[in-house]
Amino acid sequence: MTISDRVVEAHDIRLDEVTGGRARARMRVTAAMANQHGIIHGGYVFLLADTAFAYASNGHQDGNRPVTVATAAQITFLRPVPADAELVAEAVERSRVGAAGIYDVTVSLADPDGGGAVVAEFRGQSTTVARRLIGGSA
């Protein structure tokens, strides 16, 4: 079980790789995620990046480990995303110091649609919390 299963199902997100400190997630964006200009709402790009971040920071978890939660995130939008594109988000752990973690996520247009062109760069800050504090049954 993972930290955001229903989000993943609701948006048909596919997880290619989840290892300790890394995760790759894919999502095909749909017309329903676009504004009237045909450009995908940045909130969905964030949602995909944030999902990859959640998996990367919890990928090595088991039922006894503390849970990692997001405390803050920053995203820069570099290119508009057209409807029907497939996005891929690559999350990598950058630093861990005590309970604090920093994760970088690059969101790109997947091949063959976009040839890997970067559409957004995301950085997440996380902290670990005791499992009992968030009522987790996992």
Beta carbons of 1 and 137 less than 8 angstroms apart = no
CB of 16 to its own copies, least distance (A): 19
Beta carbons of 33 and 5 less than 8 angstroms apart = no
Residue 79 as a binder of its own copies (CB under 8 A): the answer is yes
Greatest CA separation found in the chain?
A: 47
Nearer to its own copies, 77 or 110 (CB): 77
Strand-pair partners of 34: 40
Residue 62 as a binder of its own copies (CB under 8 A): the answer is no
Residue 123 as a binder of its own copies (CB under 8 A): the answer is yes
Looking at 20, 84, 95, 116, which residue binds its own copies (CB under 8 A)? 95
- Give how many residues touch its own copies by CB under 8 A: 56
